[in-house]
Amino acid sequence: MKYARLTKEQLEELHEEFIRFLASQKIDKAEWDTLKQEKPEVAEQEIDIFSDLIWDNVLEKAEWLEHYSKNHIFLFKLEKTGMESIVIHAHNSHADFMTEGGLAWLNENIFSDDVHLTRGKKDFGEYRSLEIFNLIEQGAILSDGVLYAQIEDMF
């Protein structure tokens, strides 16, 4: 398995896709129920293969990530061969980017000495998708890139 098994909730949301996946493996409902009962390790392997297929598809299309912590916001623009980043750091201990108030504070203080912005660039290694997945595992979320573009336009 390259990534992580989808959660029960994620599998439930992808129920129709999973049924089509099983059908492509020539597994109908009766056979699936039998696999779960008699060969749970085989059923888990099928779920793992499906999970990797879903992750591959999502990660291949990923263009933007955001990661929020109390005093930092990491914004990533994902390209085919590398990524660019903008890191926003608050030097004010009262700022908390995990709250609406912290984001409002950032909006009012973006040009103050309490906010430091850093830009970066990094080439992907051999496995772009795994590097993106690792960022997601660390707490990054897929985004539409609006915040990245807004910050980039300011500077």
Note the pLDDT tens digit of each residue in 83-134.
Answer: 999 999 999 888 899 998 988 999 899 999 999 999 999 999 999 999 999 9
Task: Judge contact between 37 and 113, C-beta under 8 A.
Answer: no
Record the pTM.
Answer: 0.86
Q: Is residue 88 part of a domain?
A: yes
The residue out of 45, 61, 77 marking a domain boundary is: 61
Note the pLDDT tens digit of each residue in 3-53.
Answer: 999 999 999 999 999 999 999 999 999 999 999 999 999 999 999 999 999
Dihedral sign, CA of 107, 69, 135, 81?
Answer: positive
Q: In this model, does residue 79 exceed pLDDT 90?
A: yes
Same domain, 14 and 36: yes
**pLDDT tier for residue 144 given thresholds of 50, 70 and 90:** very high
Q: Is residue 55 part of a domain?
A: yes
**pLDDT tier for residue 154 given thresholds of 50, 70 and 90:** confident
Q: How far apart are CA 93 and CA 105, in angstroms?
A: 12
Two tokens, residue 33:
């129920």
Q: How many domains does the chain have?
A: 2
Enclosing domain of residue 57? 8-61
The residue out of 38, 61, 84 marking a domain boundary is: 61
Residues facing residue 80 across a β-bridge: none
The residue out of 36, 61, 86 marking a domain boundary is: 61
Same domain, 55 and 74: no
User: Residue written as tokens 């912290």?
Assistant: 102
The H-or-E segment that residue 10 falls in is: helix 8-13
pLDDT at 105: 92
Q: How far apart are CA 146 and CA 128, in angstroms?
A: 22
pLDDT at 94: 81
pLDDT at 51: 97
Q: Is residue 3 part of a domain?
A: no
Q: Is residue 85 part of a domain?
A: yes
Same domain, 78 and 21: no
Count of C-beta atoms within a 10 Å radius of residue 10: 11
Same domain, 74 and 106: yes
Q: Is residue 136 part of a domain?
A: yes
Q: In this model, does residue 155 exceed pLDDT 80?
A: no
Q: Is residue 1 part of a domain?
A: no
**Looking at residue 29, what DSSP letter applies?**
H
Same domain, 124 and 137: yes
Same domain, 54 and 73: no
End-to-end CA distance of the chain: 41
